[in-house]
Structure 1
Amino acid sequence: MALTKQFLKSKPVCKVTFTLPAEATTESKKVILLGDFNGWDPSEATPLKKQKDGSYKAIVELETGKEYQFRYLLDGEKWENDWQADKYVPAEGSTDENSVVVL
């Protein structure tokens, strides 16, 4: 898993590439990205596209100077954190943790 950040010079935005490796998806058919940037709303979620190597990937433009909590949802039932997130914080109302990307 990896978070790749590409900061744009023309505006205060960073293109973040979210990648979930094949070994984390274990035959999942649908992977979506939920977080602060889409209100944790499944109807507004960012779908990840399956790659030839079996991993899933999506690119999201996020405002710089902020931190965003996020998690991956596999097939609408299994949550997965990013194994290389910038940090982790306790999820509100849960014993789980959320991944965080720091821009």
Structure 2
Amino acid sequence: MERTQRKQHTEITFIVPADHTCGPVSVVGDFNDWRPGVHPLVERPDGCRAVTVKLPSSQRHQFRYLAHGDHWFNEENADGHEGRRP
């Protein structure tokens, strides 16, 4: 996960490494009403998959990744992990 601070928002780039073989993946969180497929990760030339989302800088957000086969997983580099959301 990478963060870029802008004047009015923060750009978060969610990244799944190339060696994480899980098929199609989307980032699902409170910023997209937990709707799968709204923010799909796209493969990069190096094989990893990523998507960038603009979020308000002043808020904390919850999210998880959803992969093919209803496989949910966490971002290991997130600021924290609270309970189990979908």
How does the TM-score come out when normalised to structure 1? 0.75
Q: Percent identity?
A: 34
Q: How many residues align?
A: 86
**Separation of aligned partners in 1, 2:71 and 2:46:** 21
Letter in 2 for 1:61: K
1:76 CA drift (Å): 4.5
1:26-49: CA deviations, max 9, x gaps? 151x11110010000125x20100
Say whether residues 1:15 and 2:11 are aligned partners. yes
TM-superposed deviation, 1:53: 2.3
- Residue 101 of structure 1 corresponds to none
Residue 31 (structure 2) aligned to one of 37, 59, 64 = 37
Structure with bigger strand share is 1
Query: Letter of the aligned partner of 1:15 in structure 2?
Result: E
Q: Greater CA radius of gyration, 1 or 2?
A: 1
* Superposition CA RMSD, Å: 1.6
Please state which structure has a larger fraction of its residues in helix. 1
Could you report, residue by residue, the CA deviation over 1:68-95 in whole angstroms, capped at 9, with x for unpaired residues? Answer: 1101111151112111111100025x7x
Gapped regions of structure 1 (runs ≥ 5): 95-103
Classify the secondary structure of the residue corresponding to 1:37. Answer: helix
